[in-house]
Structure 1
Amino acid sequence: MRFPLLFAFLTLLYTACSSDAGEGPPAYADQTTPAIQLNQVGFYPDQPIRFTCADTQAVSPGAVATSVFYVTDAKGDSTVYEGTLSDSVNWQDLAGVTARTGTVDPLPVGEYRIYVPEVGYSYPFRVQDSVLRDVFVGSMRGLYYQRAGAELPEVHAGKWARAAGHLDTTVYYHPSSGRSEGTLSSPGGWYDAGDYNKYIVNGAFPVGQYLALYEDVGDPAADGALNIPESGNGKSDYLDELKYELDWMLTMQDEDGGLYHKLTTLAFDGMVMPEAGSGRRYVVGKSITATLNFAAATAQASRVYRDYDADYADRLLAASRRAWSWAGNNPDAFFRNPADVSTGQYGDNNSDDEQAWAAAELFATTGEQEFYNDLQEHPPRVRFGAGVGWTSYMANMAAFTLLRFPDRVPREMYDHLEGLVVTLADSLVQRTESNAYFQPITEFGWGSNSDVMNAAMVMAAAHLRRPRREYIDAIGHSMNYILGHNPNAVCYLTGFGERHPMFIHHRPSASDGIDEPVPGLLSGGPNAAQQDRPETTYKPNAAPMQSWADQTPSYASNEICLNWNAPFSYVSGFMEYVAAQTGN
């Protein structure tokens, strides 16, 4: 895709939410409005449909507002439901709109639209069993499209087929690595984001979230489900795809057990295809945060892969132990970019959360007292806030893991952690009911969409221990927000929904000459800081939830990243599991 797009659809929002109702829905005439905002992918048969009729102008006191709405079939030929909109709610400060909300009782399987008189028809949505299956599979296939060092043939990649780039069989040691001679062979792995670099911190953390789904619900993508090169080998496609990243991670461990922080060029490549990248690539630095994240993910993987390949599981656990030992001997090895390196830093001045996660995974895998003792001295700090991704969410991951093993974890610690997770989840449920668009966050920074999904993961963890319908409803609201129930009226996952990002900050999508972006990649989402303002045109005076631009230069709001896709895959996979358990 080569053409810029100014994301200015909000100027098209109808102000007719303050008009009188008509005589019912007219024939659908192939025109939809972003003023009616809802999940564009769909709902389960037992799930109420919530939507918003949005106006960018405040409704004046005493204005007469339409109160009726209709649900029609997708063609607008028949009306299946008639309902009443709420009173107007002022969401200007956070969302930039004055809104009226509507709720529809669960509908039979089918395809529908919402019609509001003098506003128009909504984008279509489905009601069906397994309604999130396609977006789950799509998000997992997004990882396949991110494979480094691999040709993507048409049989697996469709029209996004491409040549291999960045083979990484001859990688140089940056002086910060502690080595000055020789080269390293470090092929494979996933590109981290919209660039062509690979990072241990933000590779191991997402791998842990993917493995968590496997441990919580079983295999969510059996052999043949993902149409990847390994399909047909008699083993889980899900584990096959994760192994592509794990294999690369193992190459990044130095002989002393420490992990090189990242494998990158000195500066970001331009907007070119992978095979056109020509910069020399280096392993840069060695850090305690990368090493502990690696120790955690490989210890967890050693459990999951035990039946897949016992020898491989042994190798993973041995690597985890070496990493744990190195971290204990290098407690102050924090990473900062060297002066001549400007690629992603993933820096952190505190490793407590990473240490708790590593200790939890090693204890869950081995049951050894050393790791439990460490957990007693440094217990997981269960908490949630905006921007708690790769710097601190690992503490929650530690708690989630320990709660999977009630027979191994001593009762006092187990009860304490369960109480923390449930209390946090309950607070997130309350937020969804009081926030604009029923999302669980009110601060919108870098990767805010991942914050929404990480919050949903907390609620999922609570539901697995103390099942409550309120958790599932709040998780559903969070997914609705991502899939279109937001003030930008966008399904933030590329390739899905009627209106999705077309100009993501992603080098292959920007340079492959194909109109549509690579599918299955989650846009970062609204970012009130708008750090890319010099390159990006945002709506003037955009509210925090409107601070998103469908423009290729927008690395602050429209880039993609592994640790944004991972919680989305977890939540969509988890919802599919719950639906299957309840017959949906």
Structure 2
Amino acid sequence: MQTLNSFSLIILCSMLLSASAFTRQDYYTALNKSILFFEGQRSGKLPANQRVNWRGDSGLSDGSAANVNLVGGYYDAGDNLKFGLPMAFTTTLLAWSVIEFGDLMQNQLENARDAVRWGSDYLLKAATATPGSLYVHVGNPYNDHKCWERPEDMDTSRDVYKVSSSNPGSDVAAETAAALAASSIVFKVSDPSYSEKLLQTAINVFKFADEHRGKYSDSLSSVVCPFYCSYSGYQDELLWGASWIYQATQNPTYLKYIQYNGRVLGAEDDTYSFSWDDKRPGTKILLSKSFLEAGKQGLQEYKTHSDNYICSLIPGSPNFQAQYTPGGLLYKTQGSNLQYVTASTLLLLTYAKYLDTTHGVAHCGTTVFAADKLRALAKQQVDYILGDNPQKISYMVGFGNKSPSNIHHRGSSIPSVHKEPGHIGCNEGFQYLQSSTPNPNIHEGAIVGGPDNNDNFSDDRNNYQQSEPATYINAPFVGALAYFSSTT
């Protein structure tokens, strides 16, 4: 992979200036599907208004191994596991999408809130089931990955795992606090009593995370590694969690915490990858809001660091260091690359919104970029995902004329329990994994891992790096689609 040469830069810039490939209605249709996807990822007892009708109830005894109720939540990707760190991050970004762009979601706002609540309800259970503990995972990952089963059929062990004062997990606990605090903002007006419960739980979980410090992958390495190892450590999550509680409460105690602890917790580190593991770019964008909109002293540096992140993404910036494919897609890694793309689009659009409040610009050395430049780059990434790319394929299932049909997803690839109610066992399901037949259940709205560094994509169920969807790919895209569905 190479950084952009001058020819590629010209091509990318021309794409940014080209006419829109999609209409507002197209973006609105994609928004609907992006939220619908979460219904296909639900675990637990499905509600009467469930729209994804190929799914059924599943995981109804989750938590019973520890005599607690852990029914509900989301399966993170194409398997039948419930990992707490990516689920909490998913919930945080869904909530952030609603907070910033909910007023643009039109008739999809209630569906978006439902998606947030499905995550926050579960996180409430996980945080309050046992005093002094936080449940962070359900399901034995090694047993699960030896099987190919519908979630409705799964008969692998549903072991539960938690962090505690003696086995800390500050990263997953602080991310859970962030998710609960962000969700409390979403429901502050529509359901104030629920909002208050979320916020008080967030405060308690954050206190637990801060007082009992340690990486959860040190405490639970055999379960969460290599799947969702905490590579960045827990410091970024502590700053992220405190920032979200401050946004929800405006309590000066949390502002002081951020001011006094920020540098120790990574505030000065300029990293350029926002993901379920590393929250630093997102935290700086979030804290820049308090400086830009309210002039909060002690937070000026977050504007500078936010500029550094944004400038790293923009071709032509003196601080540019991102990599793009020949077709113009932001490229970080061969495995599930689109998670970084969707996360970056949310940050670009959110920061552009914050800059607009003060008619501000992003400072990139001696060069400045206005908010519209950020939006143009975000739009190019969104359009690429939706089908404006060299392969002319939408990487959102069920959107456009051509989209992936062989995604790496158990429930989608095996006939629905409503059509074939008989139990399909662990080994029996592998015939569907190996089949060349398209998935019988169209998982509408699912965004897959995406193409490689040369814009090539293999619609192959066994190529999980490119064909597996995940909740944390979709979550930030909800906000981006909401913006373009109302402004294009």
Q: Specify the TM-score bucket, using the shorter chain as the normaliser.
A: 0.7 to 0.9
User: 1:384–1:455: 8 Å Cα contact kept in structure 2?
Assistant: no
| 8 Å Cα contact 1:250/1:319 also seen in 2 | yes
Q: Which residue type is aligned with residue 520 of structure 1?
A: G
Report the Cα offset of residue 495 of structure 1: 0.7
Aligned to 1:256: 131
TM-score by length of 1: 0.66
Q: Would the alpha carbon gap of residues 361 and 170 (structure 1) be closer, same or farther in structure 2, given more than 3 Å must change?
A: closer
Higher helix share: 2
Which aligned pairs between 1:313-462 and structure 2 lie closer than 5 A? 313-336=195-218, 337=220, 339=222, 344-348=227-231, 350-379=233-262, 380=267, 383-386=270-273, 388-392=274-278, 394-406=279-291, 411-430=296-315, 435-437=324-326, 439=328, 441-462=330-351
The structure showing larger relative contact order (alpha-carbon pairs under 8 Å, at least 6 residues apart) is 2
Amino acid at match of 2:346: M
1:11-22 equivalent positions in 2, closer than 5 A: none
Q: Which amino acid aligns with 1:161?
A: W
Q: CA deviation at 1:89?
A: 5.9
TM-score computed with the length of structure 2 as normaliser: 0.78
Q: After superposing the two structures, state which structure 1 stretch, 430-439 or 420-429, moved more.
A: 430-439
Aligned sequence identity (%): 18
2:68 to 170, 184, 194: 184
For residues 102 and 413 of structure 1, do their structure 2 counterparts lie closer, same or farther at Cα, with a shift above 3 Å needed? Answer: closer
Give the match for residue 95 of structure 2. 211
Task: Answer whether contact 1:484 1:492 (CA < 8 A) is retained.
Answer: yes
> 8 Å contact 2:210–2:238 — kept in the other structure?
no
- Structure-1 separation of matches of 2:298 and 2:224: 43
Separation in 1, partners of 2:17, 2:250: 48
Matches within 5 A, 1:11-410: 127-151=22-46, 156-157=51-52, 160-173=53-66, 183-221=67-105, 225=107, 236-253=110-127, 254-266=129-141, 267-268=143-144, 270-286=147-163, 287-336=169-218, 337=220, 339=222, 344-348=227-231, 350-379=233-262, 380=267, 383-386=270-273, 388-392=274-278, 394-406=279-291
Letter in 2 for 1:555: Y
Distance 1:290 1:304 in 2: 21
In structure 2, the residue matched to 1:84 is: none
* Number of residue pairs matched by the alignment: 429
> In structure 2, how many angstroms separate the alpha carbons of the residues matched to 1:268 and 1:412?
50
SS of alignment partner, residue 261 of structure 1: strand
Q: Describe the superposition over 1:386-436 as per-residue Cα deviations: whole angstroms up to 9, x where unpaired.
A: 5x41111x2233233333445986534343222322342233122699944
Q: Distance in 1 between matches of 2:130 and 2:158?
A: 20
How much has 1:366 moved relative to structure 2? 2.3
Q: Which moved more, 1:203-212 or 1:345-354?
A: 345-354
Residue 195 of structure 1 and its aligned partner are, at CA, apart by 0.7
Provide, for residues 351-374 of structure 1, a one-character-per-residue CA deviation record: whole Å limited to 9, x for no partner: 111011111112222233332222
Q: Give the structure with the higher percent strand.
A: 1
One-letter amino acid of the counterpart of residue 425, structure 1: I
| CA distance 1:472–1:437, shift in 2 (3 Å) | farther
CA positional deviation for 1:219: 3.8
Q: Partners in 2 of 1:134 and 1:575 — Cα distance?
A: 11
Instruction: Give the C-alpha shift of residue 310 in structure 1.
Output: 1.5
If you compute each CA radius of gyration, which structure gives the higher value, 1 or 2? 1
CA contact (8 A) 1:153 1:162 kept: no
Query: Does 1:499 find its partner at 2:382?
Result: no
1:463-478 matches, cutoff 5 A: 463-467=352-356, 468-478=371-381
Q: SS of the counterpart of 1:466? A: helix
Give the aligned partner of residue 177 of structure 1.
none
1:164 offset after TM fit, Å? Answer: 1.2
Matched residues in 2 for 1:448 and 1:103: separation? Answer: 20
The code of the aligned residue for 1:242 comes to: V
Q: CA contact under 8 A between 1:424 and 1:458: conserved in structure 2?
A: no
Maintained 8 Å contact 2:44/2:60: yes
Name stretches of at least 5 consecutive residues in structure 2 with no aligned partner.
1-5, 164-168, 357-370, 417-438
3-state SS of paired residue (2:394): coil
SS of aligned partner of 1:156 = coil
Q: CA deviation at 1:475?
A: 1.1
Say if 1:136 and 1:572, in contact at 8 Å, map to a contact too: yes
Q: Would you say the 8 A contact 2:177–2:205 is kept in 1?
A: yes
Give per-residue Cα distances to partners, 1:173-202, cap 9 Å, x unaligned: 4xxxxxxxxx21111111111011112211
Report the counterpart of residue 550 of structure 1 in structure 2. 459
Range with greater deviation from structure 2 (453-462 or 291-300):
453-462
Whether contact under 8 Å (1:487, 1:545) holds in the other structure is no
Q: 3-state DSSP class of the match of 1:545?
A: coil
Cα RMSD for the two superposed structures: 3.3
Cα shift at 1:238 = 1.8
Distance in 1 separating the partners of 2:202 and 2:294: 20
Matches within 5 A, 1:526-537: 526=451
Shift of 1:382: 6.7
What code does the residue aligned with 2:85 have? V
Q: CA 1:169–1:476 in 2, change beyond 3 Å: closer, same or farther?
A: closer
